Structure 1
């Protein structure tokens, strides 16, 4: 991006109403629909799950969509806007008029999000894509598609949830006080009343446990997940995770990736957070002083709020870039999100 493009962002008129879609309608996708509902600048018009999709140019209702999905297993049953399909994403892309999609999809297998990006490229669709992916290796796969995304006219914002995302951006800001950043330590606490509301997310977390990987976690039955959680009283403790905060901060020139660590605790049986989510950035100032900045999220904010809110803020920022002809791949550490009114 040129200096003229960056400085010109402040001269861009306010973004008009943005038609958005949500791919994936599990716990995160349903929460995303609720986050958009009161917004004036965004209208939720499209969503897809494994078995079907729904599209209404006048706007979908999150309550009725959630009821249909929970009772019948697919938005394809939503009358009169639903369509059952084994190629729901591809069909929705071709049918719906959407400015940007939030990819609230599980990255299982670890190549899945890159495959979705390729499907968008192949379709000829142009617009904004936002994901909330976790793994470094998954983001690295998207980095390999950077030129293809740019040529396709797609503005792709990756790692734009809570971590990576909100906390990565906070670390990038906190780093400005320092001449050298010595460490970035992200610690998260997540509390959910019932793991089944976030099955894919919990499986992705299990994949980070010692002795597990993405394929093993993906293959686990619900009963096997339950058995594992019974052994830990519903608690998942994660350390030194493969989290894309590292590559994102390295790409932004903040610090080498080996100075970034991510870990946390997930309680799958209690909505109260087991610990406060925070990021600590330690560095040396130009005066030679060693100091630590700490940014802590309020315990009352849920995982869904801290993932979906930033995702749509980045989607709005992506639309601003896209309408100025700026395409390609960007991370949460490179672009400031814009608040969606």
Structure 2
């Protein structure tokens, strides 16, 4: 029987996640929520209809099975009791937001699997601190399960096996999107990583201010030495100290073609004393949405397998293999 899943957040990533699920047999989208409302149908929501209504009217609450409310997350959790797991496709703005959502699940009494794709080290640290509460609540929480952190962190964990000592992990990503409006929350999170900007500044920026910034940079956001949770995730499982992990990238907000090929390079010393580098490069044709959403649902499936065995609490993408969703 297909797992019943929900999506919280219905911006660019949430809509892409709904599209991805529509082609899957092992998972069925039954609930989705945005800021203004949610929709729940235990027989399944149609992705095309949900996306069309959201784009034309601004909320899933306008669907036939929808409810308009300012308290959409709590009400969706309360109504959709039979959901196996949720992908939290939410912007982590402010930096405490994802932890506050996890606390809503803990307080609700719901038991199941939660997956996030948060980026910041400090955000994942907050989730790690919540692990005892998640465990006590019967929730299996998979954190940092996007592309980076996520897919590329898992690749680093595998690549490390060839080495006696890992000297450095370098992650460089290229993201190309035709129009920043499709991924407004993600772009704001990226701006928060730019020199001279913070999460609070990025969150407070109006759309016009974002447009003005992108006009100055020709639509490019260049990021170096980011506060990215790949570092704590690899340190947590003993692969290397976090200061040996660097993450950076270029986001082109005006062109769907990637400005550079996303890759992970891990350099280390083998037991024979040789220095070498493993490189894992993602195909340029795979979009950010494909790499994030596919990974997130792979971890949701893996998380369900743990949950069925009574294993609760927090795990990250670096310590678990994702399971492929057919």
Q: Which runs of 5+ in 2 are unaligned?
A: none
Partner of 1:10: none
Stretch of structure 1 that moved more, 296-305 or 89-98? 89-98
Partner of 1:174: 159
Alignment partner of 2:36 out of 39, 47, 51: 51
Alignment partner of 1:82 out of 43, 56, 66: 66
Q: Deviations over 1:249-268 (max 9, x none)?
A: 00011100000000000000
Alignment partner of 1:235 out of 220, 230, 234: 220
CA distance in 2, matches of 1:178, 1:114: 35
User: Secondary structure at the residue paired with 1:283?
Assistant: strand
CA distance in 2, matches of 1:337, 1:66: 27
User: Secondary structure at the residue paired with 1:292?
Assistant: strand
User: Secondary structure at the residue paired with 1:156?
Assistant: strand
CA distance in 2, matches of 1:264, 1:164: 13
Shift of 1:75: 0.2
Q: Deviations over 1:22-64 (max 9, x none)?
A: 0000000000001111111000000000000000111111111
Partner of 1:156: 141
Runs of 4+ in 1 over 4 A off after TM superposition: none
User: Secondary structure at the residue paired with 2:250?
Assistant: strand
Partner of 2:241: 256
Is 1:327 the counterpart of 2:299? The answer is no
Count the aligned residue pairs: 325
Partner of 1:183: 168
Is 1:244 the counterpart of 2:229? The answer is yes
Partner of 1:4: none
CA distance in 2, matches of 1:248, 1:208: 19
CA distance in 2, matches of 1:316, 1:104: 16
Shift of 1:17: 1.5
TM-score normalized by the length of structure 1: 0.95
CA distance in 2, matches of 1:50, 1:278: 34
User: Secondary structure at the residue paired with 1:243?
Assistant: coil
Computed over aligned residues only, the root mean square deviation of the Cα atoms, in angstroms, reads 0.4
Q: How is 1:59-138 mapped onto 2 (pairs within 5 angstroms)?
A: 59-79=44-64, 81-96=65-80, 97-138=82-123
CA distance in 1, matches of 2:261, 2:196: 27
Shift of 1:158: 0.1
TM-score normalized by the length of structure 2: 0.99
Q: Deviations over 1:200-227 (max 9, x none)?
A: 0000000000110000000000000000
User: Secondary structure at the residue paired with 2:181?
Assistant: helix
CA distance in 1, matches of 2:70, 2:222: 36
CA distance in 2, matches of 1:324, 1:35: 27
